[in-house]
Structure formats: structure tokens, C-alpha cells
Amino acid sequence: MMSDFSFQRAKTPKEAVILLGLHKDNKVIGGGTNLLDMMKEGMTDSHEIIDINRMGLNKIIRNEDGGFLIGASVTNTDLAYHKEIEKHYPLLSKAILKGASPQIRNMATTAGNMLQRTRCYYFYDTATPCNKRNPGSGCPAKTGVNHIHAILGASESCIAVHPSDMCVALAALDAKVHIQGAKAEKIIPFVAFHKLPGNTPHLDNILAHDEIITGVELPANGFAKHHAYVKARERNSYAFALASAAVGYELNDNLLGDVRIALGGVAHKPWRNTEAEIFLKGKLPTKDNFRKAAEIILEGARGYGQNDFKIELAKRVVVRALEMAINNEVQL
């Protein structure tokens, strides 16, 4: 049952963080596609909900360096179908359109997508223990139903995965996150925003309680000529990834230049392995080289029984994405 809460609209990011800091259970709301579900299930309580949709953060602005700044309140639909994003960052557009339903994309926001919680069965079942929901209570997924769970970066405390498609593309694109705090603003690399579980699986990211995301910055290079987003899932619509790969690279005289590879559905955060990207630079775009890169990325991967298959699946998804990016083939 949802608990009572009060509601306020913040007019500016600074006002939002001040309101957040007034109570430990205060929360911000954008589209509410994840927060409201959790409140209805009794998974989280909110003393006060702070609406951040009236702060003017619903714009996509081109920067002087040729990149773009995406406001925190831009909906997934508006982002995916924005003409400049489709043209310069088709990888991002395609990744977003592989996630959720049109109805959810119409409501879900850029910042909300980044902040969504895992879809681990045990996390959403309040009758079971879960270190992410109740630190110190245990992780039944390790010996339970775990076919959707992590094979990289997991810990004894948690083997949950991050559910976002959009975030996998943002990791591959080397985006940056703009954050407003109570005292100052800061900009951090996107790959540093989400955390691995370690001993604190209840902390999904580096945001302090009195900080909010104000935007995401895209660099000028969106790998529009050679990119792919491949998502393996249990059904072809509205399903979270068992393993996904966002790739982009430059190709000059049939040799690979700058290469980016990010994986989804395999870890507590979008997974980047720069060693594999460095390995591919200067090499021919062959299946053998792609397979070697996939082996590098999945080195040290560990299954927990039901999800052992994801190790080989992730390798095949990486190879397939790298092959498809040569000619930007139609991606199913």
C-alpha cells in the first residue's frame, strides 16, 4: 500500500536540491515510471515528492563544440526521435527504441532512465531478503532464480544487473553527466556515474541525497557511420536485455580507428572494457579480431548456475554488433 506523502514543484535545480535536503525520504519525480511502481509495492516511502518537470530541463541544445546537451527532463520518445540525435547519434536513438513500450517512453525521462532500479525478482519481492532493498539481509539470487543476473562485476552481496538500454549507448558514446548539488555544480564521465555493488549494493550511483541530474552531455563524435545496438532478450518486445552491446567505431582504409564497446544486461552498471577497445584499434574488422575482443571483455565472467549461458551469449552479441556496424545493417 502506498504511504501518504506531500508534493511540491521545484522551479529551479537549486530549489530542488534544497527541498531534497530537508528530509532523508524526500524524492524527485520526472515521469515516475519506476518510482511510482516502487511506492505502490511498498518498496520505498516518500516524505515529499518534488516535481522537477517545470525547471526548463526538457530541451536538447547543441554545444559550440558540436556536441549536444540533453536536459534531464527530456522524454525518451523526444530524445529517440529528435532529428539531430537520429542524424548524429543513431546508436543512442536505436538503443532507446529497443527499450520499454511507446507508452513508457512517452513518460520516462533521461535522468529517470539513468536512475531506474534493477529488475531483480528478489528486489521487487518484499517477502524475500535483498541486500539492495535491505542491506545485510542477504542475496537469495545467488542460489535461486538468476538467469537474468550479472556475470561481470558482481559481489557476494549482490548479482543484480542495471536494466537500461539507453545507458549502454551513453556509456559507449563517452557521455558526461551534469549534476546540481546544494553547494555547486559538477560534471562527471558517464562511466563513473553508476557503481558496482561491492559491499553497498543499495547505492546504485554516486549521487548524494541532495544532488540531482540536470543533463547529459554528448561529445561531437556519435559514430554515425559505423554503429550498432544488439539486444538479446527472451521475447522481441518490452523485455529487458539478457545481454546487449552498443558499439561504435571509426573505419579508415579498412582499419579500425577509435572503437567503443559497452555491454548491458551483464553487470550492475553498463560495462566498458577499454582494453578490448585498444586491442581492436588499428586492426582489420574481421570476425576473428572481434571474437578476440569479446574474449577480452568477458575475461573473468562468472555465472551462478542458471545464467551460465550468458557468458557465451554476451560474446556472440559483441561479435554480432561489431560485424553489423561495418555497414550499419538493419538491426532486429
Give me the pLDDT at residue 125, please: 95
Rounded to whole angstroms, the Cα distance separating 163 from 79 reads: 18
Give me the pLDDT at residue 36, please: 87
DSSP type of residue 75: B
Rounded to whole angstroms, the Cα distance separating 17 from 212 reads: 7
Find out whether 266 and 161 touch, Cβ atoms under 8 Å. Answer: yes
Q: Which residues contact 163 (CB under 8 A, 6 or more apart)?
A: 116, 117, 118, 119, 240, 241
Find out whether 124 and 132 touch, Cβ atoms under 8 Å. Answer: no
Q: Which grid cell is 230?
A: 544488439
Give me the pLDDT at residue 330, please: 53
DSSP type of residue 194: B
Rounded to whole angstroms, the Cα distance separating 149 from 102 reads: 26
Q: Is 51 exposed, middle or buried (0-12, 13-18, 19+ CB in 10 A)?
A: middle
Rounded to whole angstroms, the Cα distance separating 2 from 174 reads: 38
Give me the pLDDT at residue 261, please: 98
Averaged over successive runs of 10 residues, the pLDDT of the chain (332 residues) comes to 84 95 92 88 86 95 96 98 98 96 95 96 95 97 98 98 98 98 95 98 96 98 97 90 98 97 98 98 98 98 98 98 87 50
CATH of the structural domain 227-324, one choice from 3.30.390.50, 3.40.50.10300, 3.40.50.150, 3.30.1360.40: 3.30.390.50
Q: Which grid cell is 20?
A: 531534497
Name the region of 56 (left: φ>0; alpha: ψ -120 to 50; beta: rest).
left
Type of residue found at 111: A
Question: How many residues would you count in the chain?
Answer: 332
Q: Read off the pLDDT of residues 44-61 as tens digits, 9 standing for 90 and up.
A: 878 899 999 999 999 999
CATH of the structural domain 1-53, one choice from 3.40.1160.10, 3.40.50.300, 1.10.10.10, 3.30.43.10: 3.30.43.10
DSSP secondary structure of 82-93: -HHHHHH-HHHH
Rounded to whole angstroms, the Cα distance separating 109 from 148 reads: 25
DSSP secondary structure of 121-164: HHHH-TTS--TTTSTTS--GGGTSS-TTS-SSS--SS-------
Type of residue found at 94: K
Q: Which grid cell is 185?
A: 555544480
Q: In the chain, what are the domain boundaries?
A: 1-53, 227-324
pTM confidence score: 0.96
Give me the pLDDT at residue 45, please: 79
Rounded to whole angstroms, the Cα distance separating 3 from 46 reads: 8
Q: Is 14 exposed, middle or buried (0-12, 13-18, 19+ CB in 10 A)?
A: middle
Q: Which residues contact 180 (CB under 8 A, 6 or more apart)?
A: 13, 14, 16, 17, 211, 212, 213, 214
Residue at grid coordinates 543476473: 149
